[in-house]
Amino acid sequence: MITRVRYAPSPTGLQHIGGIRTALFNWLFAHSTGGKFVLRLEDTDRTRYDPVFEQNLYDTFKWLGIYWDEGPDIEGPYAPYVQSQRTMMYQKHAGELLEKGQAYRCFCSPERLEKVRADREAEKSQETGYDRHCRNIDSEECERRIKAGENFTVRLKIPLNDPENNSSAITRFNDKLLGDIEWKNSDINPDPVLLKSDGFPTYHLANIVDDHFMEITHVLRAQEWLSSTPLHVILYKAFGWEPPVFCHLPMVMGQDGKKLSKRHGAASVDEFRRQGYLAEALINYTALLGCSYEEEKDIYTKEELGKFFSPDKLNKAPAVFDYKKLEWYNGQYIRMKSNEELASLSLPWAIEQGLFGTGKDSDKTTEKEMELYTAAMDLVRERANYLPDIPAKLGYLFSEPVVPAVEEFIPKKSDQKSAYALLQMGKDMIPAFFPDGKAATDEEIENMVKEKAEKESVKLGDLLMPLRVAITGSRVSPPLFASIRLLGAERCLVRINSALKLLGSA
Ligand code: GLU
Ligand code: ZN
């Protein structure tokens, strides 16, 4: 049997960590078993549907590089993959349950249902949900009310008695992760609506009909759906269908033990993206939320994860989302990128920060600027944990830094006069860094500086400090020798001269 799994989001919000974790586990499971991963849009809640969220779904997964084998945008043998295009099918199946006496029509108005709720509240009653008011309306009355044009919904008739055992009914199922689960039918959401009065199905009906006809073999979904599963099992039974294997995934919590949400930090993928996370880091980290891969390592490619994943490796305990750990992953993936990749990934932030002096107009970035920017990736790769950190550290390569205050140039236990002399020493070396007009390597430059310090009997650090401040505008900067090499002799000398002027002016 080929495994078929699905991600079935409702486009009523932005894609968030919990959702992509569900999608990812399904994708990994399909890959680990050579099965198929299906995307199905559960857009039956028309009041909360927004095309913006549907677009966000496609954009998010494109960015993550996770693709489905079948779905609304690529179709497949079980099309359509959008529930709003399958309404007839749900109506037909609701009709089938009505005929079999497994469902019934409810003529209650929203006002009546609201009154039941309010009365119970006033009485401090423990009862919730529908009061099964229409469960026993006889067929004649039913016909008459339909003919009279009354609105109705179709509700599932949850069996309350087990005639075989002469007891109250219990629904049992197995969850691959949580084991055997049983639920008293009297505790299940009482006779939930399957078909709304506008003819649209509810989640429960559409989800079951689709999982059945799309031949879904395994349902891996968030644990918050666990309470719906007894209901779904009853529906499968009512139809006479075999339910799929259920596996409810461990919850994702914030550090405070509460369900991960905006309060903890970024939660939507959009926001992670805006903050400068890489898709690979997010995938790698998310795939570890509630699953142990048993390999002694942290970094996994998507393909490796797809090889190692198994529902047997899922943890029962909730996973805690650790932003610090994710930051570490992001840094690791930044280190793995080539100069070209990193330059292109971080370019939007470079432009936004006005790095090239062209404001927010990306078309004005010149080839020369891009070449320098690309080469500069070597200077920051080891130190950046987020993409926007990259251009933020490189301003001094693209525009003249403000000459810092005099004190900044003065090494410890030194004075302005000595700083001037040290910087002069640095200046004298510049031409040697560019033999035949071309820059020496960083290592060669370093050796020259070391020799000079020795020859002049000054501390290497003292020699470098005023030079670093003059050239980069700061005591803390990306590597100095590489900066000198990229800036070129001329630009270095201009900066050194301005600094010398400042230091010599006292
Ligand atoms: N449409 C449901 C959701 O939004 C699907 C739940 C399920 O996987 O059954 O998550
Ligand atoms: Zn009713």
Is the pTM higher than 0.75? The answer reads: yes
Percentage with pLDDT > 90 across the chain: 92
Percentage with pLDDT > 70 across the chain: 99
The mean pLDDT of 302-317, rounded to a whole number, is 93
Give the ligand whose atoms come closest to the C-alpha of residue 109.
2
Task: Please pick, among 262, 313, 360, 417, the residue that the annotation labels catalytic.
Answer: 262
| Mean pLDDT for the chain overall | 95
Which residue is closest in CA terms to ligand 1's atom 5?
8
The mean pLDDT of 53-74, rounded to a whole number, is 97
The mean pLDDT of 371-390, rounded to a whole number, is 98
Amino acid 364: pLDDT:
76
Assess whether the C-beta atom of 84 lies below 6 angstroms from ligand 1: no
Amino acid 506: pLDDT:
59
Assess whether the C-beta atom of 8 lies below 6 angstroms from ligand 1: yes
Q: For residue 437, is pLDDT > 90? A: no
Q: For residue 358, is pLDDT > 80? A: no
pLDDT tens-digit readout, 250-296:
999 999 989 888 888 888 999 999 999 999 999 999 999 999 987 78
Assess whether the C-beta atom of 9 lies below 6 angstroms from ligand 1: yes
Amino acid 265: pLDDT:
85
Q: Which helix (H) or strand (E) holds 330?
A: helix 323-335
Distance 8 CA to ligand 1 centre (A): 5
Please tell me the distance from the alpha carbon of residue 433 to that of residue 378, in angstroms, as a whole number. Answer: 19
The mean pLDDT of 111-125, rounded to a whole number, is 96
- The SS3 of residue 56 is helix
In ligand 1, the atom with minimum distance to the C-alpha of 19 is 10
Amino acid 405: pLDDT:
96
pLDDT tens-digit readout, 1-21:
899 999 999 999 999 999 999
* Residue with more model confidence, 366 or 505: 366
Please tell me the distance from the alpha carbon of residue 60 to that of residue 268, in angstroms, as a whole number. Answer: 10
Told to judge if 262 belongs to the known catalytic residues of this protein, a careful annotator would answer: yes
The mean pLDDT of 239-259, rounded to a whole number, is 95
In ligand 1, the atom with minimum distance to the C-alpha of 228 is 9
In ligand 1, the atom with minimum distance to the C-alpha of 10 is 4
Q: For residue 505, is pLDDT > 90? A: no
Amino acid 283: pLDDT:
97
- For 313, 330, 343, 379, 400, the CA distances from 394, given in Å and listed in that order, are 44, 19, 12, 9, 11
Which residue is closest in CA terms to ligand 1's atom 6?
8
Assess whether the C-beta atom of 225 lies below 6 angstroms from ligand 1: yes
Q: For residue 319, is pLDDT > 80? A: yes
Residue-by-residue DSSP string for 341-378: HHHHHHHHHHHHTTTTSSTT-GGG--HHHHHHHHHHHH
Assess whether the C-beta atom of 244 lies below 6 angstroms from ligand 1: no
